[in-house]
Structure 1
Amino acid sequence: MTSTGARLTAREITLGYGERVVSAGLNVAVPDGAFTAVVGANASGKSTLLRALVRLLRPEAGAVLLDGKDVRGYRPKAIAREVAFLPQNLLAPENIVARRLVARGRYPHQTPLSTWSPADERAVTDAMAAAGVTDLADRPVTELSGGQRQRVWMAMVLAQETGHLLLDEPTTFLDIAHQYQLLALLARLRDQGRTIVAVLHDINQACRYADHIVAMKDGKIVAEGAPGEVIDAALVEDVFGLPCVVVPDPVTGTPMVVPTL
């Protein structure tokens, strides 16, 4: 159930790389306790927005706020205890095994005087079980398939135990069964009170699992709201250039896009 609050917000942010402006004047309020899917065609500004929300990209104007405070004002470990981020195309250190990589998700909770605790051990074990990689614990990450690696990275983010999870194309490299298993896991985390933001390419997966859609085109937010309120054939053709009809999903009743090409 979507909350009316929004701890993580962006106010009038302008984003770009060097002289190239990607987005200007964006306003975003991430609903607390909701699963937000950011959708749009390639190069529409989705990943750039996520990078700004986790302070990897500094806005040229405006600010990203967490609990009313500019995220740039948080210490790195403090923000990492609140917001976890799974980017695209991660590279694992040479020879690191899966469990050791997942354990790196506990770094924000460590101090110079702290030792590895039962809580850390539990978080890693639970995260690996949730991501379905327990059997890969002792395997070198570089020897895993793309889908297996993606699930190990996901376990690392889960082990971070943050209130906000921001994921850039988390279903990349996953076969269709693991895609749906991951999305169902994210929906369960939402139901447990976590706030999820994920860039998704599959509009039907977004409509089925997310309860808040942000649709982007050319660096602008062109629509946002519940899937049933914003997803229609006109929007899909405008955002993706895809002629279609939108019908109820036979299982969930959520919007389902059927191409008419």
Structure 2
Amino acid sequence: MTARLTARDITLRYGERVVSTRLSLDVPDAAFTAIVGPNACGKSTLLRALVRLLQPADGQVTFDGREVGDYPGKALAKQLGFLPQDPLAPEDIKVRQLVGRGRFPHQGLLALWSAQDERAVTRAMAASGVSELADRPVQELSGGQRQRVWMAMVLAQQTPYLLLDEPTSFLDITHQYQLLGLLAGLRDEGRTVIAVLHDINQACRFADHLIAMRDGRVVAEGDPSKVVDSALIKEVFDLPSIIVPDPVTDTPMVVPTLQGD
């Protein structure tokens, strides 16, 4: 397994609150990595550190052997595309304008809009299913529509790495599976996808590398078919379960055995 994006012995904190201590991992290249775990276990914090929005208190995050903090902003933005959990759109901005902001790393000092920029935006909107919304103000859209617009903006950035924090939030089940299928397709084309997902069964179905976290630490990582079992689900989520083969993909499927009153 090769890894251009790595974390070594990083300690992550917000002020005095420590989230993770001496956490290390390698993000496999050209793979779909899903990060799973309970709320507040450090998943989003880890993503923020990988894209240098959070500076580790100790240790280092590197890309191609160089600390991410040493890269010029545009240079790093050409490599790592990031979708945060709760992005905010400028007031009155329209869909095409917001998606177009993904082209910023590729523009020079004169910021001239090129035919290549136009093609990237058009393709990104089509891939995310928002082409018909191009002239709509973002603030008028539903939560699910806005999420797909944000996804289009990240796709328009055309980075080899996509880091996505809960990209299926607000999406109905059809759009969730369409988006995950799109991400798997990008992986198949050679791009690297790292996504925080809440649905363990979706993670097992679409990802080929799983990172399971609890209390700021990595409990297990690897191929879902090799690391997901009832003991792991109990340790990570405190959920009794059995693991059965997904009837469509034969990947692990978690079936809770917790009974209601």
TM-score over 0.5 (shorter chain):
yes
Following the alignment from structure 1 to structure 2, what is the Cα–Cα distance between the partners of residues 113 and 160?
A: 18
* 1:115 Cα deviation after fit: 1.3
Matched AA of 1:184 = G
Partner residue in 2 for 1:182: 179
- Higher mean alpha-carbon deviation, 131-140 vs 107-116, is at 107-116
SS for the counterpart of 2:185 is helix
Partner residue in 2 for 1:44: 41
- Higher mean alpha-carbon deviation, 107-116 vs 152-161, is at 107-116
* 1:89 Cα deviation after fit: 1.1
Partner residue in 1 for 2:151: 154
Matched AA of 2:149 = V
Partner residue in 1 for 2:170: 173
SS for the counterpart of 1:113 is coil
The one of 101, 106, 110 aligned to 1:109: 106
* 1:256 Cα deviation after fit: 0.1
Following the alignment from structure 2 to structure 1, what is the Cα–Cα distance between the partners of residues 15 and 248?
A: 46
Which stretches in structure 1 are left out of the alignment for 5+ residues?
A: none
Question: What root-mean-square deviation, in Å, do the aligned CA atoms of Structure 1 and Structure 2 show?
Answer: 0.6
Q: Does structure 1 residue 34 correspond to structure 2 residue 31?
A: yes
* 1:114 Cα deviation after fit: 4.6
Structure 1: which 4+ aligned runs deviate by more than 4 Å? none
Following the alignment from structure 1 to structure 2, what is the Cα–Cα distance between the partners of residues 204 and 16?
A: 30
Following the alignment from structure 1 to structure 2, what is the Cα–Cα distance between the partners of residues 85 and 109?
A: 15
* 1:165 Cα deviation after fit: 0.1
Q: TM-score, normalised by structure 1?
A: 0.98
Matched AA of 1:21 = V
Q: TM-score, normalised by structure 2?
A: 0.98
Following the alignment from structure 2 to structure 1, what is the Cα–Cα distance between the partners of residues 109 and 73?
A: 15
Q: Does structure 1 residue 241 correspond to structure 2 residue 252?
A: no
Percent sequence identity over matched residues?
A: 70
The one of 58, 64, 84 aligned to 1:87: 84
Partner residue in 1 for 2:249: 252
Matched AA of 1:251 = V
Partner residue in 2 for 1:141: 138
Following the alignment from structure 2 to structure 1, what is the Cα–Cα distance between the partners of residues 254 and 240?
A: 10
Matched AA of 1:207 = C
Matched AA of 1:257 = V
Following the alignment from structure 2 to structure 1, what is the Cα–Cα distance between the partners of residues 225 and 139?
A: 41
Show CA shifts across 1:1-47 (max 9, x none).
xxx21000001100010011100111110000000000000011100
Partner residue in 2 for 1:197: 194
Q: Does structure 1 residue 211 correspond to structure 2 residue 208?
A: yes
SS for the counterpart of 1:5 is coil
Which stretches in structure 2 are left out of the alignment for 5+ residues?
A: none
Matched AA of 1:232 = D
The one of 225, 235, 239 aligned to 1:228: 225
Following the alignment from structure 2 to structure 1, what is the Cα–Cα distance between the partners of residues 70 and 79?
A: 14
* 1:259 Cα deviation after fit: 0.6
* 1:176 Cα deviation after fit: 0.4
Equivalent residue pairs, number: 258
* 1:113 Cα deviation after fit: 3.0
Show CA shifts across 1:72-95 (max 9, x none).
000111100000000011111111
Following the alignment from structure 2 to structure 1, what is the Cα–Cα distance between the partners of residues 44 and 111?
A: 35
Following the alignment from structure 2 to structure 1, what is the Cα–Cα distance between the partners of residues 240 and 171?
A: 27
